[in-house]
Structure 1
Amino acid sequence: MIQPLAYIHPEAKLAPSVVVEPFAVIHKNVEIGEGSWIGSHAVIMEGARIGKNVKVFPGAVISSVPQDLKFEGEDTIAVVGDNTVVRECVTISRGTKDKYKTVVGANCLLMAYVHVAHDCIIGDNCIIANTVQLAGHVEVDDWVVIGGSSAVHQFVKIGAHSMISGGSLVRKDVPPFVKAAREPLSYAGINSIGLRRRGFTSEQISQVQEIYRILYLSGVNNTTAMDKIEMEFAASDERDLILNFFRNSERGMMKGYGA
């Protein structure tokens, strides 16, 4: 299943069912799991750890050396989870001594020309549309959708089940379950359609909506809003995820519309 015009370093570890198309290049210290497909002219560089049934399209480069002047050649990796699709000309840098790895989770879709910089951690089931640029150390939780041509500032965190509109400049953390739009990027409601598609009940969605009304529409600061939410809402996975995300934000949260 390996074309004779492909180059594969003898120390690379490929499962027997991996397909490698002509002119693909696979360096040493690479591992690729069962059923994966590496397209023509893709380059899989040292430190890549590619899971099962991954599709890497032509022109993609996985595990390139970080674009970070502090990088000193340390032994790091780039991980791509099972069933993920990496489309044309995507670039995924390997980690630095901050995390020693860059991770793209399982069942993700990275559309053409996406860049995932060093030490990014992307969860499972994410869709990152064409030409999105993720700076270093960005964290993206599960089930996130990022619209095309968006740019995400380094160290930003994006919460689970959130959806960011195309062309956005993401400078601050985006909390879970929300839609983010406008310029500057702002709260634009909750991602109710996405939550329904993923099996959240009407009661869960209503609770999330009420929590964000307090956080973004009540006119009080975040500390007061979180105290109010803890008093008025019973503990739940959704409530606790939102509160913990706000409390652990380091870059600060995106604002409500017009704030």
Structure 2
Amino acid sequence: MPDIHPTAHVDPQAQLADDVVVGPGCVLNGDVRLGAGTRLVAGVYIQGPFIAGERNIIYPGACLGYPGQDLKYNPDHPGAGVRLGDDNIIREHVTIHRATNDDHPTTIGNHAFFMVHAHVGHDCRVDDHVMIVNGSMLGGHVEVHDHAIISGNVGVHQFSRIGRLTMIAGNTGISHDIPPFCTVSHRKRVGGLNIVGLRRAGLREHVAPLREAFRIFYRQGHTKPVAIEKIEMTIADDPLVREFADFIKASKRGITPYGYWRKDDPELQ
């Protein structure tokens, strides 16, 4: 049987695996399903519909599955809820809001690490092995792809996409898509490739072709269609280069530009 502290409230609709631990002061309302090995440390609030996989650890003050901060949305409508994968760590006071539609839940993958006060807005999709550091915020409908690192106090605008193996420096505002394998070190600016991340991921052989693709797209002054055409004609046999180019082609919000902060930059005034 699940280990439920006597001060916790668990809705009769909830479905808990036999070894789930629900600590003191936790509140589970509605259709909440927790997989094997999941542990709620204390004072965790979960509103269904909410489905979690196995071996997730959720720390005090986390609020998961509550309505999004969207004035157009009826907070009494349950929608598609939240779906959480396996082996995630959710630290103190993290908030993950439920979807505003009935078909696709706010979705968290596997092995993600959400640090203190991180926020995931409604209808987001966060893939595997993502790290979101203290105080960072994802607006509604944001996509974060595998192995991305979002440092502290980063704000990501609604509908933006964060590509695979990207790394965003702290205190940065993101309002456009960030291509995979890139770093962002200044507000609204891509600084270069995430070389360290690529090497640590065992992708060293892709660094040289990605550098060339990066140079073509960001450093040669081409328009987006011309740059993509040139990449596809010269180095698209590399799978990571194809991923880089396909991500850019699919962008609807536009791509974060390259460069460093200048006092006279009109975009930063």
TM-score by length of 2: 0.92
Aligned to 1:187: 190
Q: Which of 157, 175, 182 pairs up with 2:161?
A: 157
Contact 1:172–1:253 (CA<8 Å) still a contact in 2? yes
Residue 10 of structure 1: how far off its partner (Å): 1.2
Which residue is equivalent to 1:58? 60
Aligned partner of 2:247 among 226, 239, 245: 245
Aligned to 2:19: 17
Distance 2:239 2:103 in 1: 27
In 2: Cα distance, 1:167 partner to 1:75 partner: 32
Q: CA deviation at 1:54?
A: 0.3
1:87 maps to 91
Q: Which amino acid aligns with 1:161?
A: L
Structure 1 stretches lacking a partner, 5+ long: none
Once the 2 structures are TM-superposed, how far is the Cα of residue 100 of structure 1 from its aligned partner? 3.5
CA distance in 1, matches of 2:223, 2:44: 49
Q: Which AA in structure 1 matches 2:145?
A: D
How far off is 1:4 after superposition? 1.2
Matched residue of 1:255: which SS? coil
Structure 2 matches for 1:227-242, cutoff 5 A? Answer: 227-242=229-244
Cα offset for 1:74?
Answer: 4.7
Q: Which amino acid aligns with 1:134?
A: L
CA RMSD of superposed structures (Å): 1.3
For 2:67 and 2:236, the matched residues in 1 are separated by 47
> Contact (CA 8 Å) 2:131, 2:148: kept in 1 or not?
yes
Q: Is the 8 A contact 2:149 2:167 kept in 1?
A: yes
Q: TM-score, normalised by structure 1?
A: 0.96
Structure 1 residue ranges, 4+ long, deviating more than 3 angstroms after superposition: none
Q: Deviations over 1:10-51 (max 9, x none)?
A: 110000100111111111200000000002111011111111
Kept in 2: contact 1:187–1:216 (CA 8 A): no
> Shift of residue 68 of structure 1?
1.2
Q: Which runs of 5+ in 2 are unaligned?
A: none
Secondary structure at the counterpart of residue 215 of structure 1: helix
Matched with 1:171 is 175
How many residues matched?
257
Q: 1:74 to 1:30 in 2, by over 3 A?
A: closer
1:115 aligns with 2:119: yes
Matches of 1:191 and 1:125 in 2, distance apart?
Answer: 16
- What corresponds to 2:100 in structure 1? 96
